[in-house]
Homo-oligomer: A and B are copies of this chain.
Amino acid sequence: MKTLKMILITLCCVAVTGVVNAQKKSDKHPIKIGMAGYTFVKFDLDSTLKVLDKLDVRYLCVKDFHLPLNSTDAQMDAFKAKLKAKNIIPYGAGPIYMKSQQEVDRAFDYAKRLGVNLIVAVPNYELLPYVSDKCKEYDMKIAIHLHGPDLDVYPNATDVWEHVKDLDPRMGICMDIGHNLRTGDDPVKDIEKYQSRIFDLHLKDVTAASKEGHGIEVGRGIIDFPALVKELRKIKYDGVCSLEYEKDMNDPMLGIAESIGYFKGICAQ
């Protein structure tokens, strides 16, 4: 009798799980969620990795304050071992500013030793042909970080596109959806337009489509995330969507977690 009851309970559970689990068997194009290292500018590597692990975020774009550009191979190995222990994948490095050929050389060498094939970069405009040659030489992708109306260089995706479209096809865009919108350009439309060169994406939300707009928890601002995810699936984006959270940088953990949760919720639909 007890066995029969056990069998019935098991069958029942399997049936219910079948219903509730339907969403998990989605055949939608998967969206990779990651973290832009800059989000943790006020926190050391160990604290950062602990949070990523708790949030089940498995991709990190490495910033130099967690792994200096002049790290020795031994320091690189120790860094990689720490990430591996937490099951976190370094998928890129940057943003790295490049103001000279020496700085370009150092960045490519750093990325190669780190074992990534993507640099999120801000090279001076006049260095772009040199960077393009380096991409060919290293078989490395460059995602140029656009920075909205705040900086003189690379305000939006269109500006990056115009500067890289005739260079090596590994020269592309890190689509910062917040900064792009702050210049008045719709990030969703630009992802469609420049899809062949979108290699990285900075996930964030902003309060206004203007210079005055500032960072806020994902979902609380004006970006249309359902439309964003729909577009990313449409173009079969296979890069990472990395949260760059810039509000309350001394005490950002709740905002980071809420933002990651929100984006997971959007992706679950």
Q: Pick the interface stretch among A17-25, A61-69, A101-109.
A: A17-25
Taking a contact as CB atoms under 8 Å apart, the answer to whether A54 and B261 are in contact is: no
For chain A, which range describes its interface: under 10, 10 to 19, 20 to 34, or 35 or more residues? 35 or more
Chain A 165-221 residues near chain B, CB threshold 8 A: 181, 184-186, 208-210, 217-220
A55 at the interface (CB under 8 A from B): yes
| A–B complex contacts, Cβ < 8 Å, 8 sampled | A16-B185, A19-B224, A23-B225, A23-B226, A217-B261, A253-B257, A255-B257, A258-B261
A51 at the interface (CB under 8 A from B): yes
Chain A 245-266 residues near chain B, CB threshold 8 A: 253-266
Taking a contact as CB atoms under 8 Å apart, the answer to whether B209 and A16 are in contact is: yes
User: B residues within 8 A CB of A258?
Assistant: 55, 257-258, 260-261, 264
Contact residues of A: prevailing secondary structure: helix
Taking a contact as CB atoms under 8 Å apart, the answer to whether A209 and B20 are in contact is: yes
Given contacts A262-B265, A265-B219, A266-B265, contact A20 B254 (CB under 8 A): no
Whole-angstrom CA separation of A51 from B254 in the bound complex: 8
A7 at the interface (CB under 8 A from B): no
User: B residues within 8 A CB of A23?
Assistant: 224-227
A9 at the interface (CB under 8 A from B): yes
Taking a contact as CB atoms under 8 Å apart, the answer to whether A222 and B263 are in contact is: no
Q: Please pick, from B24, B184, B208, B261, the residue contacting A257 in the complex, using a CB distance under 8 A.
A: B261
Whole-angstrom CA separation of A61 from B268 in the bound complex: 28
Q: Please pick, from B55, B253, B257, B268, the residue contacting A226 in the complex, using a CB distance under 8 A.
A: B268
